[in-house]
Structure 1
Amino acid sequence: MKPSEWEEVTSHLEKMLETLNFGSITLVVQDGRVVQIEKNEKVRLQTNKKR
């Protein structure tokens, strides 16, 4: 992976991590290159805490 490609990946990861409270980030790799970044966020509702 070229340094400029790695900088793009890390830039996106940093932005996603800053806004993620609960969830996961997945990197999709093809032929040794990151081709997609997925962010799954969970939202905890207050009403569920009383159960």
Structure 2
Amino acid sequence: MAVVDQAKVNFILSTLKNMEYGSVIITVHDGTITQIDKTEKTRFGAKKPLHKN
């Protein structure tokens, strides 16, 4: 098992803590984290239309 740089672990944890919706993709080459991609989504509550009968 490869040794993971603590700065990278801290970055990943910080990213997860500050994200409400989205994904984090960690790219590994030869047992080393080489890239971290974050896709964050913003969701808005859907309002139901008012129907007048």
2:15 corresponds to which residue? 16
Q: How many residues align?
A: 47
Normalised to the residue count of structure 1, the TM-score between the two structures is 0.73
Percent of residue pairs identical: 28
Larger radius of gyration: 2
Match in the other structure for 2:25:
26
Matched, 1:50 2:47: yes
Q: Which structure's residues are more often helix, by fraction? A: 1
User: TM-score with structure 2 length normalisation?
Assistant: 0.71
Question: What's the CA shift string for 1:10-40, capped at 9, x where partnerless?
Answer: 1101110121000111101111110011111
**Structure 1: segments with no counterpart, 5+ residues:** none
